[in-house]
Amino acid sequence: MTMPIKSICCLGAGYVGGPTMAMIAAKCPHIKVTVADMNEQRVAAWNSDTLPVYEPGLDAIVASALGRNLHFTTDIRSAIAGADLIFVSVGTPTKSYGIGAGRAADLRYIESAARLIAEVSEGHKIIVEKSTIPVKTATAIKSILAANSPNGATFQVLSNPEFLAEGTAVEDLQSPDRILIGGEITPEGNAAVEALVSVYANWIPRERILTTNLWSSELSKLVANAFLAQRISSINSISALCEATGADVDEVARAIGMDSRIGPKFLKASVGFGGSCFQKDLLNLVYLCESFNLPQVAKYWRQVVQLNDWQKSRFVEKIVRTLYNTVNGKRIAILGFAFKKDTNDTRESPAIQVCRDLLHERAHLAIYDPRVSAETIHQDLIAAGVSPELIATNMEICSDPYTAIKGAHALATLTEWDEFRTLDLPRVYGLMLKPAFVFDGRAVLSLESLVAHGFEAFVIGKGL
């Protein structure tokens, strides 16, 4: 018999938990949805007119349910106690210490959440892994719940990984390719799976809701991101070959993308991929393969990450060599710092490594991004190893692209914001020192148009 879900709690009000729960609340007005997070500032932002996450269309979704059946709170214990179903959407960063450092997922927040759920819960609850976690994490969660429940509560653990793309998260939540739910193949497990299926079925066709065993669901998330990242690294490797031979990587991508066996998505060459998932999940997959004594498989997937790092280094080297082997004291306008357009997320953004390396070459950077704050840019670069003194003397944050470009020796585009596609090129050329160099790391500008306007131009994947 399927357990009716009347109250949902989500632990974690970040990029996944906040938007996902807002959509569930908007589509399921009969279900109380509470998002709990210990970060008071983040919770206050969700309850305000300035959300902590920027996604097109998200403001309207949150506003439609906030205060009705959608609530954000720091009272985590009460939220857990009152919920039938609990999503665990806490951080699983890559470990920076100890065994598996730089590859394995750090599961301390998952464990803390499980222990708190066990301590507070009564009756029967369904626990849903929403965070990206290694295969077999459900086993650890189940053992912690079973050993630490003083009130005799019972639990079923499900896996329900997210497949959101930042910048299109609202669209992805409203009409996803699929919803994946994994559970134990037992009567109790099947009932728990069906209970979660019934929530999503309020707006998603049943044929798009895929159910599997726990381990297939946990692994599918890592594999999906690994395959997508692999496609980007693959086309980026070809971008270097195109530059060397005179081919055009966009034309090559269009030609191979028309093959129905390949398809056109994720074949856009760039300075590199970023975001919270691709590198983290790839490294996690590498570590899993090593842990299960599959070194050849681990080496295969590690190469995807290494090529992504090489693409960023290659871009910096191109700038330095083109500017007569020195950028010391030269003003370089950086357009874009987010890892992709339509988001203020900078996690693993290629811009961080590019800016870090240029600052270490003693370039003077003038950075503009329409959504990323100056504070975030400073924090990211300090975390990447740039000294506060170097940032203070060699970097400025600008309020518009033309201010950044004024007096620059070179211009580098690092995020594909739409506004960069319509830059006034005669104005840009007039503002820059001559020769005016452009390094387009996102291929948002036409190479022919740049050359026609007098620029010395390099566009990723375009042979001169």
Beta carbons within 8 Å of 206's beta carbon, 6+ residues apart: 197
Beta carbons within 8 Å of 261's beta carbon, 6+ residues apart: none
Given 9, 242, 277, 398, which residue is catalytic?
277
Pairing status of strand 7-11 against strand 85-88:
parallel
- C-alpha separations of 2 from 64, 117, 171, 182, 199 in Å: 29, 22, 29, 16, 11
Give the N- to C-terminal CA distance of the chain in Å, as an integer.
Answer: 66
Tokens of 359: 């600052």
Residue 139 CA to residue 205 CA, distance in Å, equals: 30
Beta carbons within 8 Å of 194's beta carbon, 6+ residues apart: 2
Residue 346 CA to residue 458 CA, distance in Å, equals: 24
336: left (phi over 0), alpha (psi -120 to 50) or beta: left
Tokens of 407: 């007096």
Residue 68, number of CB atoms within 10 A of its CB: 12
Residue with tokens 């976690």: 133
- How many secondary structure helices (H) and strands (E) does the chain include? 19, 14
Residue 7 CA to residue 79 CA, distance in Å, equals: 9
Cβ atoms 40, 74 nearer than 8 A: yes
Cβ atoms 5, 12 nearer than 8 A: no
Tokens of 43: 């919770």
Cβ atoms 72, 13 nearer than 8 A: yes
Q: Which of 271, 259, 459 is nearest to 352 (CA)?
A: 271
Pairing status of strand 331-335 against strand 410-413:
parallel
Residue 17 CA to residue 90 CA, distance in Å, equals: 8
Q: Is 277 a catalytic residue?
A: yes
b/e sequence 217-237, b meaning 16+ C-beta within 10 Å: bbbbbbebbbebbbbbbbbbb
Cβ atoms 450, 459 nearer than 8 A: yes
- Residues marked as catalytic: 277
